[in-house]
Every structure is written in C-alpha cells, then in structure tokens.
C-alpha cells in the first residue's frame, strides 16, 4: 500500500491511496471462508459449499467492504501522522472510476486544508460596559416592591395610577382577551383620556395604534400574534370589569424579613444596597455577554484568511442526510461561513493560550455548583466526601458534562478577553446600556 499527497495550493490537496492485492487478499479469503463454513445452501451440507460458489455470490461485496476498511484506516492514520489540519472530511475524487474486477486499486481524495493565520485580540478597541444600579433604578425597584406587597382597594371610577381589569374585543380580528393593566401602561394620550373617569361596566372604544409604547404589548394584552402585533391599527372595545388602586406596602422589618430572611436587611438604605448588589450581579452577566459578542464580531471582521470555498461547498452538498443541490449548498455555505471562521479563530486561541478545560477544573466547577445549591437549602458546610460523591454522579451524565464544559469554556474565553483584549470601560446605568447595546 502506498499513500501520497499532492498540494494543489495552500488550501487544497489530493491524497492518493494505492492498495494492492497483497493488502486485502488474506482478509477477503478469511471472510469468505467463514461464509463457506456457515452458509446454508440447498443441495450442500453445511460447511461443504464450494468456495467458487461462495466467491461468485459474495466475493465482490466482501472485497469492497474489506478494501474500504483498509482505505479508511490508512487514510485516517496518514492524516494523523502527517498532522494535516483538514476541514470537513476527505471527499472521494475518482469513486465512479474504480474497477472492482482488477487486483490493484487507486483511490483519490480531495482535502480542504485549514488556513494559516494569526489572531490579534488588540486590533480594535472594544467597549466593556460597567452597568450600575443608579438612584432612579433603585427608587423604581423599591416602588415596585411596595406595590407588589401592598393592598388592592376596589374602586368604581378610573383615575391615574389605577389597575384596570377588562376584556378587549374586536370581532374582525378575533380579539377576545381578558387583561389586567395599569393606566400607566397606556402610552397614547387620547386613549388615556378615554379611560380616565370610566366606570365598571363601561365599554370604551380605543385605537390600537400608539396604544402602548411597545407594539409587543399588543400581543400580551390583546392576544394577537407576534406578526399582527407590529403596526396593529384597529379599534377595540375595552369592557371594564374591575378597577383597583394599590395601596403601597410599608417598608418595615416584616417586609424586609419576608424578602431577604430574618435580620438580613433592617432599613430602606440597606434594602437599596441589597437591591444594588443583586442587580449589578445580573447586569454584569449581561455586560459580559455583550463583551463576548463584540469581541467575537471584531475577531471575525479583523482576522483575515482565505478558505477552500469550493471544497467546503462540495462537502456541505454531500455530507448531510440528503444530498443538496449545488445552489442550496452554496447558500448554506454563505450562511455558515462566518461561524466556521470563528470556530477556526477560537480553536487557534484555545490551542495557543492553553484555554482547554481540564477534568479537574470540571470537577471543581461541579463541586462549587453543588455547594451553592446546597447553601440555598441551609446546608452550608458539606463534607468533601459528600461533594465528591455528588460530583461523580453529575460527571457520569454525558449531557451534564457537555453543558458544564460549554459554560467553563465560555468563562475561560471571556476571562482571556478581559485580560488581553483592548478594552475601554464605560460606566452607564441600565437604561443607557440597553439602548446602546441592543438598539
């Protein structure tokens, strides 16, 4: 057997595997002899079927199977030993030309080779948002808590700040949705004016255009589909069934204990500090995700290299469960090219900076996760043996291992970017962060 590689260019190569009769004849004979010993053919005793008959019936199929086994094993070994960084899988080049009646065979495979490139995480400055819970946010959170733990007082007439329960109706659009909303949820001045002073039992005609500040609320309150919610412009009848005003809950020790546990918070100042700490932990998760997304986009944009486009399109065309047309494969490649580029960039970063997750790191991660969960149920000091036993059970679950590995890999990459990328820290409140990051 002989294997050779011919480079077409830096991204494409052809591997030729030559297999002679000496490479496969013994294996084929062994399989056929086993068939002969076990075959049940009318007119012959078991084990006495002529080899010629067995060869005629099974010879070609066995030959193809055994040669393919040798071919796949030798090709895999060659790629490994030559340390070839290939994309996709080798594609047969002359499969249709093989003459299985001959003694020797020559197989050719096209290879798509990974490009050589360098990754520079300092090429572009990325904004790293530090999101703070400002006074306006904290005041609003305290207000929300007081409303949540306050009392509802029934009323007859709608006034500012009231909660209204009723049913939205429009026969043409199939709208028949009971909803509870605050008058403050209504954005349109004309609609607010129509509702002010209305009483239980009244039917108020409202225009949906501009009814809410966000068209998504049409889906929530009117029960229309997501597609219909955008730009909905009809009249609805709102039949008022209940009007309530909410008496604010008192900021007292009973409420503090209910929210955070006995004695953890004992004043409005401490309440705001606790809200601030908890909120900013949540904000940090969102800003970290934004940072990760922005660095990834920057790396894709600023790390230039070519790909074996034609090879990859062919590979996509034939590698799925069902073969694609050439046009469909090209379209799929265009959709997936950006992701493929980032896979190569990330793989290079992980290899060059030792960012792979080890088993010990995975085990420690599992144990810390277990400790955090146990602490929620009052078990604050579990033994190492207990943690090891639970961690072992978790690590025996393939899906859990995959999920934790992905989280750890992301955490490692994020930390690497924080320490090495060119970042500019920008302190903003939450509303500004949402506006700049997502709008």
pLDDT score, position 323: 86
Q: Which two tokens stand for residue 144?
A: 């929300």
Ordered per-residue pLDDT tens for the chain, 439 residues: 899 999 999 999 999 999 999 999 999 999 988 888 877 777 777 777 788 887 888 889 999 999 999 999 999 999 999 999 999 999 998 777 889 989 999 999 999 999 999 999 999 999 999 999 999 999 999 999 998 898 989 999 999 989 999 999 999 999 999 999 999 889 999 999 999 999 999 999 999 999 998 888 999 999 999 889 988 999 999 999 999 998 899 999 999 999 988 899 999 999 999 999 999 999 999 999 999 999 999 999 999 999 999 999 999 999 888 889 999 999 999 999 999 999 999 999 999 999 999 999 999 999 999 998 888 787 878 888 989 999 999 999 999 999 999 999 999 999 999 999 999 999 999 999 999 988 6
pLDDT score, position 45: 72
pLDDT score, position 53: 81
pLDDT score, position 35: 81
**Contact yes or no for 158/165 (Cβ under 8 A):** no
DSSP symbol at 46: T
Q: How many CB atoms lie within 10 A of CB 72?
A: 12
pLDDT score, position 438: 80
Dihedral Cα 427, 431, 433, 436, nearest 10 deg:
-120
pLDDT score, position 36: 80
| Cα 200 from Cα 157, distance rounded (Å) | 7
DSSP symbol at 439: -
Q: Which two tokens stand for residue 222?
A: 């009117």
- The DSSP-derived string for 146-167 is HHHTSEEEEESB--TT-EEEEE
| Cα 30 from Cα 36, distance rounded (Å) | 10
- The DSSP-derived string for 254-322 is HHHHHHH-TTT--SHHHHHHHHHHHHHHHHHHHHHHHHHHHHHHHHHHH------HHHHHHHHHHHSSS
């Amino acid at each position: 057997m002989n294997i050779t590689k011919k480079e077409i260019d830096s991204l494409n190569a052809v591997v030729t595997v030559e297999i002679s009769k000496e490479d496969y004849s013994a294996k084929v004979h062994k399989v056929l002899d086993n068939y002969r010993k076990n075959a049940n053919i009318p007119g012959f005793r078991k084990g006495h079927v002529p080899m010629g008959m067995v060869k005629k019936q099974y010879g070609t199929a066995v030959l193809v199977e055994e040669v393919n086994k040798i071919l796949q094993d030798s090709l895999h070994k060659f790629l490994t030993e030559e340390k070839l960084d290939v994309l996709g899988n080798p594609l047969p080049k002359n499969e249709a030309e093989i003459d299985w009646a001959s003694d020797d065979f020559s197989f050719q495979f096209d290879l798509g080779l990974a490009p050589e490139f360098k990754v520079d995480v300092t090429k572009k400055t990325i904004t790293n948002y530090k999101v703070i819970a400002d006074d306006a946010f904290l005041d609003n959170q305290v207000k929300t808590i007081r409303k949540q733990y306050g009392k509802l007082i029934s009323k007859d007439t709608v006034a500012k700040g009231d909660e209204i329960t009723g049913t939205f109706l429009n026969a043409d659009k199939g709208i028949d949705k009971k909803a509870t909303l605050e008058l403050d949820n209504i954005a349109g001045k004309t609609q607010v004016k129509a509702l002010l002073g209305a009483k239980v039992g009244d039917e108020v005609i409202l225009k949906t255009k501009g009814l809410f500040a966000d068209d998504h609320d049409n889906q929530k309150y009117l029960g229309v589909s997501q597609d219909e919610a955008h730009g909905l412009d009809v009249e609805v009848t709102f039949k008022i069934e209940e009007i309530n005003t909410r008496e604010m809950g008192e900021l007292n020790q009973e409420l503090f204990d209910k929210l955070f546990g006995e004695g953890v918070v004992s004043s409005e100042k401490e309440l705001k500090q606790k809200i601030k700490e908890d909120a900013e932990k949540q904000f940090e998760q969102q800003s970290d995700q934004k940072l990760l997304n922005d660095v990834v986009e920057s790396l894709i944009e600023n790390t230039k290299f070519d790909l074996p486009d034609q090879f990859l399109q062919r590979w996509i065309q034939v590698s799925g469960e069902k073969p694609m047309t050439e046009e469909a494969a090209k379209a799929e490649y265009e959709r997936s090219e950006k992701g493929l580029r980032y896979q190569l960039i990330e793989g290079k970063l992980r290899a060059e900076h030792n960012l792979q997750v080890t088993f010990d790191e995975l085990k420690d991660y599992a144990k810390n996760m277990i400790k955090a969960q146990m602490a929620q149920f009052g078990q604050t000091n579990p033994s190492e043996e207990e943690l090891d036993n639970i961690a072992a059970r978790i690590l025996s679950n393939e899906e859990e291992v995959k999920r934790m590995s992905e989280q750890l890999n992301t955490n490692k990459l994020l930390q690497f970017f924080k320490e090495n990328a060119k970042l500019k820290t920008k302190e903003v409140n939450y509303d500004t962060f949402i506006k700049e990051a997502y709008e």
